[in-house]
């Protein structure tokens, strides 16, 4: 029996916590894990660029004993008119698992599910669930847990922000979202997050920030695989830069960034490369959480 990981909404709270905590365990010895995927073949299909997520799932599969088949954006016959459903039926009959990144909707990923291979959402337009799991592992490794942890997210309400919103509050964390007007999270994501035990608040300004937070988090302003219709969009984003002045208000807070980063845009070099930043430690947790996700998918 296998399981898909397409949206965090499909997972129980206990599953989210278990995967994140397993990532922390794997971080202690990533190369020393059991070969639990030996004999499996994992397909890695990325229709959009990736450094961390693609490498994490490829290396993670290999370290767990699986073999890996990779597909680039132009490799599948979907590009010549074959339906996604037919492609899914073929791949499901040959692969044990399929890790997919798309700029399209999650409905595209669900097309690949149900044909024999476990399907993992490695980023879609709506959600980046494996990023949130890596974030949780990072926070658990640093703080021991996320219950009552206060996170200030500054920037676009993109798929990373959506995944964080669908994960952190369900484990008792507190999330303050500050997003530019017109670039926030949709109401349905905020409503779904409300089913957890934590607190979520979204505002479209940088006034009246919380008095104390444990973490400041941002992402690049131009999300992978997207564009913005307004040519003057950067003007609305300027107040949402994470700089030394913002971090000075939270002298004990850590800084997180899902990378890639554009120094001087969403974050200054002094913050990203400064002592509060754990962004590159966070990137390493992509590998650990990818291995935890793969184990969960095949745990039965």
- Is 56 buried (19+), middle (13-18) or exposed (0-12) by CB count in 10 A? buried
**pLDDT at residue 300 tops 60:** no
3-state secondary structure at position 209: coil
User: 129-283: which CATH number, 3.40.50.2000, 3.40.50.1370, 3.30.870.10, 3.40.50.300?
Assistant: 3.40.50.1370
Domains 8-127+287-297 and 129-283 share a fold: yes
Higher pLDDT, 33 or 196: 33
Q: What is the pLDDT of residue 41?
A: 98
What are the residue ranges spanned by the domains of the chain?
8-127+287-297, 129-283
Summary mean pLDDT of the chain: 95
249-288 per-residue burial string, b: 16 or more CB within 10 A, e: under 16: ebeebbbbbbbebeeebbbbeebbeeebbbbeebbbbbbb
Residue range 124-152: mean pLDDT, rounded: 97
- Could you tell me which residues come within 8 angstroms of residue 192 by beta carbon, excluding any fewer than 6 positions away? 9, 166
Written as six digits, the tokens of 23 are 């990532």
Q: How far is CA 248 from the centre of its chain?
A: 27
Q: Confidence band (pLDDT; 50, 70, 90) for 173?
A: very high
Give CATH for domain 8-127+287-297: 3.40.50.1370
Q: Confidence band (pLDDT; 50, 70, 90) for 225?
A: low
User: In terms of Cα–Cα distance, which of 255, 252, 253 is closest to 242?
Assistant: 255
Written as six digits, the tokens of 287 are 């590998």
Q: What is the pLDDT of residue 194?
A: 64
Read off φ and ψ for residue 150, nearest 5 degrees. Answer: -110, 120
What's the pTM value of the predicted model, to 2 decimals? 0.96
Q: What is the pLDDT of residue 188?
A: 93
CB-CB neighbours of 85 under 10 Å: 11
User: In terms of Cα–Cα distance, which of 120, 96, 171, 145 is closest to 291?
Assistant: 120
**pLDDT at residue 196 tops 70:** no
d(CA 237, CA 227): 14
The 254-257 sheet, strands edge to edge: 199-203, 174-178, 150-154, 215-218, 254-257
User: Does the CA dihedral 162-164-170-174 come out positive or negative?
Assistant: negative
**pLDDT at residue 278 tops 80:** yes
CB-CB neighbours of 62 under 10 Å: 13
3-state secondary structure at position 70: strand
180 and 204 Cβ atoms separated by less than 8 Å: yes
**pLDDT at residue 130 tops 60:** yes
d(CA 61, CA 64): 5
pLDDT digits (tens, 9 = 90+) for 228-277: 888 899 999 999 999 999 999 999 999 999 999 999 999 999 999 999 99
């Amino acid at each position: 029996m296998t399981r898909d990981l397409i949206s965090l909404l499909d997972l129980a709270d206990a599953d989210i916590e278990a995967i994140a905590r397993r990532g922390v365990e794997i971080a202690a010895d990533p190369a020393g894990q059991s070969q639990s995927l030996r004999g499996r073949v994992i397909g890695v299909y990325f229709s959009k660029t990736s450094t961390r997520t693609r490498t994490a799932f490829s290396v993670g599969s290999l370290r767990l004993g699986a073999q890996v088949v990779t597909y680039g954006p132009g490799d599948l016959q979907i590009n010549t008119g074959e339906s996604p459903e037919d492609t899914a039926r073929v791949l499901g009959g040959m692969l044990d698992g399929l890790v997919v990144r798309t700029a399209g909707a999650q409905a595209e990923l669900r097309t690949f599910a149900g044909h024999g291979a476990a399907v993992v959402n490695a980023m879609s337009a709506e959600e980046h669930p494996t990023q949130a799991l890596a974030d949780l592992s990072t926070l658990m490794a640093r703080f021991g847990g996320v219950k009552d942890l206060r996170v200030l997210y500054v920037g676009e309400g993109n798929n990373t922000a959506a995944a964080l919103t669908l994960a952190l509050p369900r484990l008792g964390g507190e999330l303050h979202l500050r997003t530019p007007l017109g670039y926030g999270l949709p109401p349905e994501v905020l409503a779904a997050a409300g089913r957890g035990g934590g607190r979520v608040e979204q505002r479209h300004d940088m006034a009246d920030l919380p008095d104390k937070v444990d973490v400041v988090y941002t992402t690049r302003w131009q999300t992978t695989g997207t564009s913005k219709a307004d040519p003057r969009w950067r003007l609305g984003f300027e107040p949402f830069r994470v700089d030394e002045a913002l971090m000075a208000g939270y002298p004990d807070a850590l800084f997180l960034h899902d990378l890639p980063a554009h120094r001087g845009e969403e974050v200054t070099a002094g913050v990203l490369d400064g002592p509060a930043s754990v962004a590159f430690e966070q990137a390493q947790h992509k590998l650990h959480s990818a291995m935890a996700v793969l184990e969960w998918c095949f745990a039965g």
